[in-house]
Amino acid sequence: MTYAEKPFYQDAPAFPFRTQILKYLQEYGEDIRDLVRFNVEVVRVEKERESWCLSVRDLRDSSRKSWVEKFDAVAVASGKHIYLHGKRLITGHYDVPLIPDVPGIETFPATKISHAKYFRHPSAYKDKNVLLVGNGPSGADLANQLLHHATSVQRSVRSEANALAITNPKVRDIQPIKCFRPDSIELLDGTILSNIDKVIFCTGYLYSLPMFPKDTGFITPDGLYVHHLYDQTFYSEDPSLVFLGLPKQVIPFPTFQNQAIVVCKIWAQRLALPSREVMRKDEAARLQEMNFDGSKYHSFKFPEDVALAEHWREWAERDKGEGSERGMRPWRWTQERVEFRRGAPRVKVRFLEETEKGMWDYLLLHEA
């Protein structure tokens, strides 16, 4: 899961802890740190004549006045949300939590309902009976972390988990929810749960790009995917605007490193894009491939994720121009890495067993 040119720490566990990831990222970004302006939010992005005009504001300035700065090109990499002084400020890929409209949900006490997005620490659920909804990566991670803190952890499941979402067998998987009542929850098989203290929806996110005027149509009301893109990246009407990191279920760092290298080479005119006509057809072709299910538009399940990263690597390597050997090298999915990826569920099972034996303490390592 590393960037191509920076290996991970040798003594880290197979599934490193957040403090280690943070350190890794801070080290990786050290050489460009002085180019980053922290606490500056982009509130509006609009094209005027030849320039992209960005309205920005300093989040530390209480007047919240914004000013406009002009750029030739814009890469949107707005990923997830951030919190500052406990206040949610920013929106992006993992920002708008998706809570399904289950019958009767409005009658159930709102204080008992939450979303994986707001999960910070398993100790907050000490002595609670927790019901998780969903068995994707969040449903698996939260279940594993809650197991040793909550009184009970049950998980309402409607489909098979993806191969990497391995859960401790002590977690009890139960039927999907039929409806909520003011003091209980009924499952599809008629079971009534009447002792649930907390329901955490691990049901994913909607895409949201509030900095663009609505009429650009990047996000339609369904919020399922970002429209008008070529190759998941380039705004087909004007490729001086790109979106980085939208594909899901991929290995993010190396995949998006390859994507970013392609973007840099296109913008530096070392590589070329196809005609606008071809770029415009890409969205419809991908949708057709996904059976017109917009929620799958950015989904690249293994081994599709390998193909995507390799496609960007091969594209980047088509640059044979002068000096190309000096640039950043893209990540390559060697056969060995693909096999490791295929076997990752086994590694995760081993890691969970080691956690059970007390070798890795989530709490201590989170606080370290």
Ligand X SMILES: Cc1cc2nc3c(=O)[nH]c(=O)nc-3n(C[C@H](O)[C@H](O)[C@H](O)COP(=O)(O)OP(=O)(O)OC[C@H]3O[C@@H](n4cnc5c(N)ncnc54)[C@H](O)[C@@H]3O)c2cc1C
What is the distance between the alpha carbons of residues 3 and 129, in angstroms, rounded to a whole number?
39
C-beta separation of 41 from 51 below 8 A: no
Binding residue for ligand X, selected from 245, 271, 279, 344, defined by CB under 6 A: 245
Q: Which stretch binds ligand X (CB under 6 A): 64-72, 90-98, 286-294, 312-320?
A: 90-98
Amino acid at 233: T
For the beta carbon of residue 291, count every other beta carbon within 10 angstroms.
7
Identity of the residue, 16 or 327, whose beta carbon is nearer to ligand X in the bound complex = 16
Phi, psi of 99 (to 5 degrees): -115, 115
Question: Under DSSP, is residue 9 helix (H, G, I), strand (E, B) or coil?
Answer: coil
Q: Which stretch binds ligand X (CB under 6 A): 67-75, 89-97, 121-129, 171-179?
A: 89-97
Binding residue for ligand X, selected from 114, 135, 138, 145, defined by CB under 6 A: 138
- Ramachandran area for residue 245 (φ above 0: left; ψ -120 to 50: alpha; else beta): left
Binding residue for ligand X, selected from 165, 211, 229, 344, defined by CB under 6 A: 211
C-beta separation of 350 from 13 below 8 A: no
Q: Which stretch binds ligand X (CB under 6 A): 123-131, 133-141, 169-177, 340-348?
A: 133-141
Q: What is the DSSP letter of 176?
A: P
Q: Does 330 bind ligand X (CB under 6 A)?
A: no
Binding residue for ligand X, selected from 24, 74, 75, 78, defined by CB under 6 A: 78
Identity of the residue, 204 or 239, whose beta carbon is nearer to ligand X in the bound complex = 204
Report the nearest approach of ligand X to the CB of residue 33 (Å): 13
Identity of the residue, 79 or 345, whose beta carbon is nearer to ligand X in the bound complex = 79
Give the residue among 199, 200, 201, 197 at the shortest CA–CA distance from 129.
197
Binding residue for ligand X, selected from 82, 179, 273, 365, defined by CB under 6 A: 82
Binding residue for ligand X, selected from 53, 57, 59, 79, defined by CB under 6 A: 79
Please give the structure tokens belonging to residue 90. 């920013």
Question: Computed from CA positions of residues 7, 302, 278, 292, in that sequence, does the dihedral angle turn out positive or negative?
Answer: negative
Q: Does 92 bind ligand X (CB under 6 A)?
A: yes
Identity of the residue, 104 or 223, whose beta carbon is nearer to ligand X in the bound complex = 223
Identity of the residue, 92 or 239, whose beta carbon is nearer to ligand X in the bound complex = 92
Give the residue among 30, 31, 32 at the shortest CA–CA distance from 22.
30
Q: Does 59 bind ligand X (CB under 6 A)?
A: no
Identity of the residue, 104 or 345, whose beta carbon is nearer to ligand X in the bound complex = 345
DSSP 223-237: -SS--SEETTTEETT
C-beta nearest to ligand X: residue: 79
- What's the burial of 241, exposed, middle or buried (CB within 10 Å: 0-12/13-18/19+)? buried
Residues lying near ligand X in the complex (CB under 6 A) are found at 1, 41-42, 77-80, 82, 90, 92, 94, 137-138, 141, 211, 245, 252-253
